[in-house]
Structure 1
């Protein structure tokens, strides 16, 4: 596994709700926890030090982003799966939410189609929609930010 792949894994874990991740392939074994990151790898010490430096940078960026979100009471809804984002229940319907709309915990805010199954995505807080980050009929990745809601 090269450094770029490892960086991508770290970014995906940081942007998700996953608390622990473990991966093993040939001579590489990686364990990642939100509280600490451990890597066992049979490569040079220099590569390990580069990865550790990158991990520190990624954690610093995450802390700064989280402080900004907390200070503004903004909650981001993340895509729980890979699929197609739909803002309405059907093509002729109005969007489920628009910027400025009030939502309650449990309200459906969008649909994500995955493998021909329509999955309703619900708000987990009461608040006001501040931003819809994805366009209708656009592909989303697991853990991708799709809607920002200001908690009220």
Structure 2
């Protein structure tokens, strides 16, 4: 594994993760109706930090391999949708509007998982927790949208 490549992938991950600091959950999220199986708030930073380390590791393992074009394309796609979801859900409070972003994120993570497995078994394994977590996050997004059908969205001017 190339340490510089790992640092580049990790920087991309933490750039995407910075949207969590820019758009914190706050009181608004706390008062929303959520399903009983919602993970505790402390689990989110632990999971995302672990996932970002794992996918940076995975990306750095396959980036230089012949035939890695699709893996890198899916890697870039997943980090872009990862960065987009938080401002849509928490920033604009678009509970339903975040669902298409989450669907694209899930497809991108699935694609990244498959293409990383095709090139390097360990890199593929590193994406599995992410696929599981994004599946849970997608189900949670859907459940919160259903449990809060009248929650008003914010307009960019309101932020």
Q: TM-score range by the shorter chain?
A: 0.3 to 0.5
* Higher alpha-carbon Rg: 1
Structure of higher RCO (CA pairs closer than 8 Å, 6+ residues apart): 2
TM-score scaled by length of structure 1 = 0.33
Higher share of residues assigned helix: 2
- TM-score w.r.t. the length of structure 2 is 0.32
